[in-house]
Amino acid sequence: MKATKLKVLQRRLQEKRKELISGVRTRSASSLQAGDDAIQDIADQAASAYTKEFLFSLGDAERRLLRQVDAALDKMRQNTYGRCEKCGEEISEKRLEALPFAGYCIPCQEEEESR
């Protein structure tokens, strides 16, 4: 992969990382505030519990994505970026443009998803 293309993808990954960290912090603060009201009736408690659960699940997905972004940035530092974690073949540039944190080539990703 060309150095200029790699720099562009690195910048995109760093921006995505900042966005994810900001989002997780914002949602964590919101979830701590959700439901901290004094006395609630049973419907309010249920709605508050659902909101907290929803915010935490969003946070989990974002944390997983953050780990993928960090792994991609580590691979860039180790000069192993763009190689499939399963078969070792190069991941296509189009796939990396669409998903700069992709760890698998398309065939291996499809195999993982079919399990």
Q: What is the pLDDT of residues 65-110, one digit of tens each?
A: 988 999 999 999 999 999 999 999 999 999 999 999 999 999 999 9
Domain count, the chain: 2
Q: Are residues 59 and 111 in the same domain?
A: no
Q: Are residues 56 and 96 in the same domain?
A: no
Q: Are residues 19 and 72 in the same domain?
A: yes
Q: Are residues 96 and 108 in the same domain?
A: yes
| b/e code 39-68 from CB counts within 10 Å (16+ = b) | eeeeeeeeeeeeeeeebeeebeebeebbeb
Q: Are residues 90 and 76 in the same domain?
A: no
User: Are 74 and 42 in contact, with CB atoms under 8 Å apart?
Assistant: no
User: Are 83 and 91 in contact, with CB atoms under 8 Å apart?
Assistant: yes
Q: Are residues 77 and 88 in the same domain?
A: no
Does the pTM of the predicted model rise above 0.95?
no
- Considering Cα of 16, then 22, then 28, then 34, what sign does the dihedral take? negative
Rounded to the nearest integer, the mean pLDDT of the chain is 84
Q: Are residues 76 and 102 in the same domain?
A: no
Range of the structural domain that residue 56 is part of: 3-81
Instruction: Tell me how far apart the alpha carbons of residues 67 and 92 are, in angstroms, rounded to a whole number.
Output: 21
Query: In percent, how much of the chain has pLDDT > 90?
Result: 52
